[in-house]
Amino acid sequence: MSEKLKKQQVQSAHTVLSKDKLYQFSECLKDISQKTQQVSHLGINKSKNTYHCSVCLQGFSCKITLIMHLKSHAGETPHCCSVCLKGFSKKLNLIQHMRSHTGEKPYQCSECLKRFPLKTNLKQHIKIHSGEKPYKCSECFKHFNRKALLEAHLRTHTGEKPYQCPHCLKEFSQHPHLVTHKKSHTGGKTYQCAICSKDFPVKFNLVRHMRVHTKEKPYKCSECLKDFAEKSTLLKHTRIHTGEKPYQCSECLKVFAARSSLAKHIRIHSGEKPYQCSECLKAFAVKDGLIKHLKIHNREKP
């Protein structure tokens, strides 16, 4: 059969031939006997973006995928949650959302048996066990296991603060920081410590604070078995064993294991002395210098 005749027999991009139950593709003229195979085969041809969105120009290999995508621009949400009435443009998104109500977590980690509602959550979690950190900062060469963490980290170099409070216009580099801050304006719910009555805008901060009272140290170093109350403190500590020094001075290229050490060092170049004695107004580059200096005045007092 000639190629010309074959093309004439193809009526559409994905025509269902009711007589022999075949799914035919105009892209490669391959016949697939099962609908599941049809979906898999679409992945082979996905690089040929025949159909383009007229709004954002994104390309799609399948017309039905384009139609579903267009709903996101039209604001069409035909799939509605029966619990909270939230609407979704795709049925799959509704199915995933329902797990927030049912608590269903169908994806399980084979290493620690922890369960997750989404496959993407499991993929990200597995990197904790594998140690895989494919996202590297081009400034200090620190590695991250998630792209979002790298993007948030880059703001420490650029100083970018894209999240702005609508009430006081204060800007933040991280979205969670903005969420926490906004509660100070709205009088949002606070979490109170049952021991010292201190209030916290988010529950996680209260959980962290409770370790001050309980002396709990849930984070253990795998090298020396030392325990820590904070995960961030453990990460800093592990650099003693690994020798990692991810923070580099842009002036003299000296490297440091901790960001605070780099900040202190930079004052050598800038001449900044933010710590001032209230007695004689002498200024110091580091807080330790001020503390030592204050002992001179304390000895002078009768």
Q: What is the CATH number of the domain that holds 59?
A: 3.30.160
CA torsion 60→61→65→67, rounded to 10°?
Answer: 70
Intra-chain end-to-end CA distance of the chain, in Å: 110
- DSSP letters of 6-75? HHHH--STEEEETTTTEEEETTT--EESSHHHHHHHHHHTTTS--EE-TTT--EESSHHHHHHHHHHHHT
- DSSP letters of 80-110? E-TTT--EESSHHHHHHHHHHHH----EE-T
Does residue 102 lie in a domain region? no
Does residue 112 lie in a domain region? no
Q: How far apart are CA 246 and CA 136, in angstroms?
A: 11
Is residue 184 within 8 A of residue 202, CB to CB? The reply is no
- The boundaries of the domain holding residue 37 are 3-74
Does residue 302 lie in a domain region? no
Q: How far apart are CA 72 and CA 74, in angstroms?
A: 6
- Structural domain tally of the chain? 1
pLDDT at 32: 40
Per-residue b/e over 220-259, b at no fewer than 16 CB within 10 Å?
eeeeeeeebbeeeebebbbeeeeeeebbeeeeeeeebbee
Q: How far apart are CA 257 and CA 235, in angstroms?
A: 10
- Here the tokens at position 92 are 């799959």
- Counting residues of the chain whose pLDDT is more than 70, the rounded percentage is 80
Does residue 93 lie in a domain region? no
Cα 137 to the center of its chain, rounded Å: 15
Amino acid at 128: I
Does residue 30 lie in a domain region? yes
Tens of each residue's pLDDT in the chain, 302 residues: 444 433 343 333 333 333 333 333 333 434 444 444 444 444 444 446 678 887 777 787 788 777 777 766 766 777 888 878 787 878 888 898 888 888 899 998 888 888 889 888 888 888 778 778 888 888 887 888 888 888 888 888 888 888 888 878 888 888 888 877 877 776 666 788 888 888 777 788 888 899 989 999 988 999 899 999 888 889 889 988 998 888 888 889 898 888 888 888 888 888 888 888 888 889 888 888 888 998 888 776 65
Is residue 247 within 8 A of residue 140, CB to CB? The reply is yes
Closest listed residue to residue 164, CA positions, set 152, 173, 153, 154: 173
Q: How far apart are CA 212 and CA 216, in angstroms?
A: 8
Q: How far apart are CA 291 and CA 87, in angstroms?
A: 59
pLDDT at 227: 92
Give CA angle at 88 (82, 90), nearest 5°.
Answer: 115
pLDDT digits (tens, 9 = 90+) for 225-264: 999 988 888 988 998 899 888 888 888 989 888 888 888 8
Q: How far apart are CA 234 and CA 224, in angstroms?
A: 11
Q: How far apart are CA 126 and CA 242, in angstroms?
A: 22
Q: How far apart are CA 239 and CA 233, in angstroms?
A: 10
Does residue 240 lie in a domain region? no
pLDDT digits (tens, 9 = 90+) for 174-187: 888 887 787 777 66
Does residue 55 lie in a domain region? yes
Does residue 32 lie in a domain region? yes
Q: How far apart are CA 150 and CA 172, in angstroms?
A: 16
Is residue 263 within 8 A of residue 280, CB to CB? The reply is no
Amino acid at 205: N
